[in-house]
Amino acid sequence: MFYDLNIPLPEAAGKAGGHVSSQEWAQIAQTVEQARVLGYSVVALNLTLQGKLAPEHLSVWNTTPEFKNAQLSWDRATGARVGGATRSVGRGKIRMLRRLTAVIGDATQGHSLASVDGAYDIVAVQPTNDAMLLAACNGTWDAVDIVALDMGQRWNFVAKQKVVTQALALGVSLEIMYQPALAGEKTRQQWVSNAAAVVRATRGRSVIWTSAARRALDLRAPYDIANLGEVLQLNGDLSKRALAANARAALMHAFTRSSTLRAVIAPKHSAADEPEGLAKKARMAR
């Protein structure tokens, strides 16, 4: 099963007063359908947040149209989550999830992410400086599943192995989006430099491939992307895991995080734990 956890919403959707028009939803639907045709089973629609979180960033999903051959992880009328993020996908269908990526240059932005629980299946952060990269990797913010670095731009920080491995120890994944590799020569060169830095820092562990494709034409088949790993000296097995097992692990991290308190698995309640059941157990203990 292959995953693409980054099909972007329009940039305006992540700004103050942002929304998605019907024409933009139609283009997103084409991209999702192309992902299904190429062999992906799960995709995540990604809203990139610029600035402070606002109510419209939580309610944008209420305007979602009906998608052909897709199973949504949320109710289109209310935006409420429907089932777990890792639930099975019907034959010939593609599973659609909701992802939030917060571009963070200030620590207070990271602390506000806790309020999105339930409105998004996956939460990613894109740090813009050394201090925010460290905070994203060392568990300062609970609500982080993916560290997403801008692959097409030169960073003003270094992705040090000592910092990145803290994220891996917490089950947080690092993302390599391949869309910049399809751009102009200068951007491609920067992508190779950035992506290789991620591979070196992680040694290929807990890395996930995503497309960041805004158009259906920007998508590539899973095995084509797996082969792209050779450019980064990422061997074939690790490259395929970045599209499959690693991506699933990122979803499991998100689902566990949102269903528990600081990764302590919540106990399942049985009938014996209800008030009447507890009273019965107390009588039996006498």
DSSP string covering 267-285: PPP-GGGSHHHHHHHHHHH
Tens-place pLDDT, residues 166-196? 999 999 999 999 999 998 899 999 999 999 9
Angle at 207 between CA 214 and CA 234, to 5 degrees: 100
Closest CA to 210 of 236, 238, 235, 174: 174
| CA 38 – CA 211 distance, rounded (Å) | 13
How far CA 272 is from CA of 33, 267, 277, 280, 284, in Å, comes to 46, 13, 4, 8, 12
Express as a percent the part of the chain with pLDDT over 90.
55
Q: Which residues of 8-41 are buried (b: 16+ CB within 10 A; e: fewer)?
A: bbbeebbbeebebeeeebeebbebbbbbbebebb
Q: Which residues are CB-neighbours of 245 under 8 A, at least 6 positions away? A: none
Q: Which residue has the tokens 């905070």?
A: 135
| CA 123 – CA 99 distance, rounded (Å) | 6
Tens-place pLDDT, residues 230-281? 888 888 888 999 999 999 999 999 988 877 644 443 334 344 433 344 344 4
Of the pLDDT bands very low, low, confident and very high (cuts 50, 70, 90), residue 229 is: confident
How far CA 273 is from CA of 41, 186, 187, 259, 283, in Å, comes to 38, 62, 58, 19, 14
Residue 120: pLDDT above 80?
yes
| CA 74 – CA 88 distance, rounded (Å) | 15
| CA 56 – CA 44 distance, rounded (Å) | 19
CB half-sphere exposure, 127, CA atoms < 13 A? 25
DSSP string for 5-47: EEEEPPGGGGSTT----HHHHHHHHHHHHHHHHHTEEEEEEEE
Q: Which residues are CB-neighbours of 193 under 8 A, at least 6 positions away? A: none
Q: What is the pLDDT of residue 85?
A: 54
Residue 82: pLDDT above 80?
no
What value does the mean pLDDT take over residues 61-83? 81
Q: How far apart are the first and last CA of the chain?
A: 53
Q: What is the pLDDT of residue 258?
A: 73
Residue 125: pLDDT above 80?
yes
DSSP 136: H
Amino acid identity for residue 206 in this structure? S
Paired residues of 94 in beta bridges: 70
Q: What is the pLDDT of residue 57?
A: 81
| CA 86 – CA 88 distance, rounded (Å) | 6
Amino acid identity for residue 107 in this structure? A
Check: CB of residue 73 under 8 Å from CB of residue 82. yes
| CA 144 – CA 122 distance, rounded (Å) | 8
